[in-house]
Structure 1
Amino acid sequence: MSKTGNAATSEDQALFQSVADIELFWEQVLVWIANHYLSIAIAGAAGAVIVAILYGLRMLGTRLCRRQHLGHWPRIVGRAIARTNLFFIVMLASKIVSGYAAPPAVVADTVRFLFTVAAAIQAAIWVRELVIGIVEHRAGDDEESGYSTLGSAIGIIRLLVTAVCFIVATLAILDNVGVNITGLVASLGIGGIAIGLAAQGIFSDLFASLAIIFDRPFRRGDTVNWDKTTTGTVEAIGLKTTRLRSVTGEEVIISNTNLLNKELHNLTHTMRRRATLMLGVTYQTPPETCRRIPDIVKGIVTRQDKAVFLHCSMINFGASSLDYELMFDVLAEDAEVFNRARHEVCITILETFAAEGIQFAYPTQTTFTAAPDGTMVMPYPEPETSPKPARPAKA
């Protein structure tokens, strides 16, 4: 079969360059089947077994996606396996058994080419599913809980990951079929640099969004304090900006880059909230009573649920009061629990001080005057003394 030998194609040439090549291909296939039908049958049976095993693995991946109790990693891997293409399964089995059946060069090159295409596309699908699965898990993309971290930004990330994966797969296919992709890769690199410089601000916010995904400084629904000036609840996190609903009602829009570049306090998961109160009593309070005030206040705080007393002590002689500092913690994440505990402490202090006769001080000022000789004069007139009654004369 000299005709067959002359038609052998090299790896750097196209498989079929004319109609004659196609006719030659079928002639070689028929001759190969006639001479190796037994090995072909065995290879076909082995290929069928391999296809069945791989298809079973794909079914297993589909079941893993539905098992919520297994954790996120088995479900991410299961979703990737479930996206295995049937064409890739068939070509993988063909590639494995093709060596045993001793096919002609054209058939072997055809199997190799189809397997390369199927493997590149399948690898892109697997990488895409794994990356998107990890991103969605880190973002907490759960519609039932209502706490999606990035919302619409997840869709943009899916698009970018898909584009990158399939561009790389296309380049791999072209390289394997003998196409010189050096110029194409250089063009893509230059174009990427130009786009990056033109959209530097957008990409900066995009990377800030990715930082929010993986670092999780906050989520939608959290209460945050930004730059010690703005306090509000996170309503939406987008590709470029984050929207907060401030405590005064207005919507505050902050770019993601600016949001992460300044100090940020997440107030949602505060396990211990601290209250500091200043108490001022009058200077007329007896020293014995002043000494008892810390114990009185301690008893009030310790009676409150989830309240932990830290200290209460006199710290200053104020302009018009004796100043005490009270500090206690409330062990609760909910801000309303903290507010109720602080309210009860304040009201109870008012009631207890009133019962004990302890008066709170308020800003007062006393003016003293002096006589011409320098002696102090009271700011109010001295009460007049009534004259003593005259004694009756003795007889």
Structure 2
Amino acid sequence: MSNKITSEGVKEQAGFLFADSGRWIGSHWLQILIAIGIAIGIYLILAAVKGWGSRLHDHGGERGGWRTLLGRTIAKTGNFFMIMVAAKLVSGYADAPPMVETTITFLFTIAAVFQAAVWARELILGFIEHRTEADDAHGDALGSAMGIIRLFVSFAVFAIALVVVLGNLGVNVTGLVAGLGVGGIAIGLAAQGIFADLIAALSIIFDKPFRKGDSVHYDGTSGSIERIGLKSTRIRSFDGDQRTISNRNLLDKEISNNTRRDHRRQNFPVGVIYQTPPDVCARIPDMLKEIVEEHEASFVRAGFTGFGASSLDFEVIFDNAGPDYAEFYAKRTAIGIGILQRFNDEGIEIAYPTQMTFTANAAGEAIDPYPADRGGDADQATATTIRGS
């Protein structure tokens, strides 16, 4: 038996439908009136639920919580779907003939599948917008990304809805599904680089490792995020030049976001000369702590670290709260000058690289280069102390 649709077949089926409908209305008019009344009641209930969803969405605004997302989804319920739900629920009560029942079922299936697609689209887009709520830092990138996401999500859900409807109508959709799959693979392979950067851009927008204006460092590059695009990110380096890197390559690197620091730490090494008395050396850690606290920095530790080539080495470690580098820079300068001032007041000499030369005779014995008579052998040399930075 052929299932080919022809104009004659359509006319014949339409004739049967009108004929059956006429006989049905004539013999079941009372049940039909009651069914229509019930259907109107069902439609009004569904319309009230839709209105409640609209109010819930309006109350929460465009970027509210999950209640707002639910209200937004319900508010997208279509009138045709509500009519077909009401008709489907009362068609059995009115004892509709098979042709009318089949028509109602056919229309209800189309309405239900596409309404489900609309709901799914709103839920997905609402979830994505909820993940990016209050995120104005990405500017144009977020708007462009949301436009592409809406396009992809709409195409996907309505393509699935179309396949489901055709499948319920008895159409063989195997070839259609295979064609969509092959076409998707071909497009993906042809534009895999673009899609990789696009997905990376979406990852930046949703995961938020950094935002526009953040100060970041990766590899040997430091700078401020100037623009996050769908293909690349532009960074204004501290030297003034603009650097561009693809989003995919950027996310493959370890990125330090200096803007999100909760503090900045400084390790200050200080060396004093070997002639410094031990009791004075013992007081140096407390001196360093006092200097740091005088400048309202957070003291971490201070102490002796080792015997250097030309100095007794100490260090002081302190933190400055917050990410502000200018404030940290000024405080570090003030603490350094404070250490110098305190050491000068205490008579502590800061060491610098020193080299000493000794004079010896032919036997290798050390001799005084400046004997009392200022004389000496010609093979004797003068001992000198050379100091330099």
- TM-score over 0.5 (shorter chain): yes
Q: Does 1:226 align with 2:218?
A: yes
2:340 — aligned with what? Answer: 350
1:125-274 to 2 correspondence within 5 Å? 125-140=118-133, 142-143=135-136, 150-227=142-219, 229-274=220-265
**C-alpha distance in structure 1 between counterparts of 2:41 and 2:213, whole Å:** 52
Deviation, structure 1 residue 16: 8.9
SS of residue in 2 equivalent to 1:179: coil
Partners in 2 of 1:12 and 1:141 — Cα distance?
A: 55
Tell me which moved more, 167-176 or 272-281. 272-281
CA distance in 2, matches of 1:16, 1:383: 138
Q: Which string of whole-angstrom CA distances, capped at 9 and with x for unpartnered residues, describes residues 285-336 of structure 1?
A: 332222111001111223343x332211121222333221211223324444
Structure 2 equivalent of residue 3 of structure 1: none
Q: Aligned-pair distance for 1:149? A: 7.0
Kindly provide the amino acid, as one letter, of the partner of residue 243 in structure 2.
V
Give the SS at the match of 1:17: helix
> 1:64 is matched with which residue?
56
CA deviation map 1:337-375 (0-9, x unaligned): 433443332232233223222233333444444455645
Which range moved further: 151-160 or 175-184? 151-160
Opposite residue 129 of structure 1, the aligned amino acid is E
The answer to whether the Cα contact below 8 Å between 2:141 and 2:230 also exists between their aligned partners in 1 is no
Unaligned runs of 5+ residues in structure 1 are 1-10, 386-395
- Contact 1:281-1:358 at 8 Å conserved across structures: yes
Secondary structure, counterpart of 1:361 in structure 2: coil
Question: Alignment length, in residue pairs?
Answer: 371
Identity of aligned residues (%): 47
Q: CA RMSD in A?
A: 3.0
**Which residue identity is paired with 2:145?**
A
Contact kept in structure 2, 1:282 and 1:320, CA below 8 Å:
yes
SS at match of 1:55: helix
SS in 2 for 1:101: coil
Secondary structure at 1:268's aligned position in 2? helix
Q: How does 1:333-344 map to 2 (within 5 A)?
A: 333-344=323-334
Could you say which residue in structure 1 is the equivalent of 2:270? 279
Amino acid at match of 1:112: T
Q: Which one-letter code corresponds to 1:330 in the other structure?
A: N
Secondary structure of residue in 2 paired with 1:221: coil
What secondary structure, in the 3-state scheme, does the structure 1 residue paired with 2:233 have?
A: strand
**SS of residue matched to 2:261:** coil
Measure, in 1, the Cα distance between the counterparts of 2:27 and 2:134: 58
CA contact under 8 A between 1:29 and 1:107: conserved in structure 2?
yes
- Note the C-alpha offset of 1:269: 2.2
The one of 298, 303, 309 equivalent to 1:319 is 309
Q: Tell me if 1:40 matches 2:32.
A: yes
**Aligned residue in 1 for 2:381:** none
Q: Which moved more, 1:28-37 or 1:294-303?
A: 28-37
- Assess if the C-alpha contact under 8 Å between 2:138 and 2:211 holds in 1: no
> Cα 1:332–1:22, aligned 2, differ >3 Å: closer, same or farther?
same
